[in-house]
Amino acid sequence: MNTHALKIQTQTFTLHPSGVLFWQEKSMLLISDVHLGKVSHFRKFGAAVPQKAVQKNFDLMNEAIDFFKPLHLIFMGDLFHSAVNKEWQLFEKWTTKVEANIILVVGNHDVISPVTYEDLGIKVVSEIQMEGFLLTHHPEERDGFFNFCGHVHPSIRMVGLGRQSARLRCFFKLKNQLLLPAFGEFTGSHTLEPVEGSEVFALLGDTILPVPIKEKKRKGRYSK
């Protein structure tokens, strides 16, 4: 397993190939856009999505938790894709085995009542401010803060020597912001173009791949 460490404002963050981010000094694991319930939602309406995809999200989360052993687990929004369905029961059982303190930074797909989460011991908040860092679901620009966020589902298009291309999920870093990749299966992604001053870290199997940015694009913004 190949990880990649980043130093941001004296703090150390580890990028993991699954798409999670670990804040070492705070023993805090950040996971964005899991979209639990999406597979069951698709299957309900006849989509040919394999049932085993439901369990894969939980397996991947377990692997990341076992790797870092965090004291705090922060879901960066869009934890559950829809209203309560069969996957919620699996999530309930899963939380009983997680020793970390769980917090949900609410996202636009989080329509389940905060009371339902709080019954599981999960705290629901709109954002987290800590040590000059701002943790949100949607990208935010706020003076004096470095922003960690999700929502965009960033990916980058990689082109090989034979002009073949592949789109890979990625961590997308700007001067004062880091976009986390979507964690969940079947979430889709949004291809971003590197801009001036950006850094891109692609997820390739069990490796974090820093992407050389040969051509500097005119500085712009993303949308989703």
One digit per residue, pLDDT tens: the chain, 224 residues?
899 999 999 999 999 999 999 999 999 999 999 988 765 545 454 454 556 767 888 999 999 999 999 999 999 999 987 767 778 889 999 999 999 999 999 998 888 999 999 999 999 999 999 999 999 999 999 999 999 999 999 999 987 666 677 889 999 999 999 999 999 766 678 899 988 889 999 999 999 999 987 654 444 555 44
Residue 64 resides in a domain: yes
Give the range of the structural domain holding residue 32, as residue numbers without chain letter.
4-211
What is the count of structural domains for the chain?
1
Residue 161 confidence (pLDDT): 62
Residue 109 confidence (pLDDT): 83
Residue 20 confidence (pLDDT): 98
Residue 172 resides in a domain: yes
Residue 195 confidence (pLDDT): 84
Residue 3 confidence (pLDDT): 97
Residue 113 resides in a domain: yes
SS3 of the chain: CCCEEEEECCEEEEECCCCCEEECCCCEEEECCCCECHHHHHHHCCCCCCCHHHHHHHHHHHHHHHHHCCCEEEECCCCECCCCCHHHHHHHHHHCCCCCEEEEECCCCCCCCHHHHHCCCCEEECCEEECCEEECCCCCCCCCCEEEECCCCEEEEEECCCCCEEEEEEEEEECCEEECCCCCCCCCCEECCCCCCCEEEEEECCEEEEECCCCCCCCCCCCC
Residue 83 resides in a domain: yes
- CATH (domain of 52): 3.60.21
Residue 194 confidence (pLDDT): 87
Output the CA–CA distances (angstroms, integers) from residue 145 to 10, 25, 159, in the order listed.
Answer: 13, 17, 34
Residue 76 resides in a domain: yes
Residue 132 resides in a domain: yes
Residue 81 confidence (pLDDT): 73
Residue 224 resides in a domain: no
Residue 222 resides in a domain: no
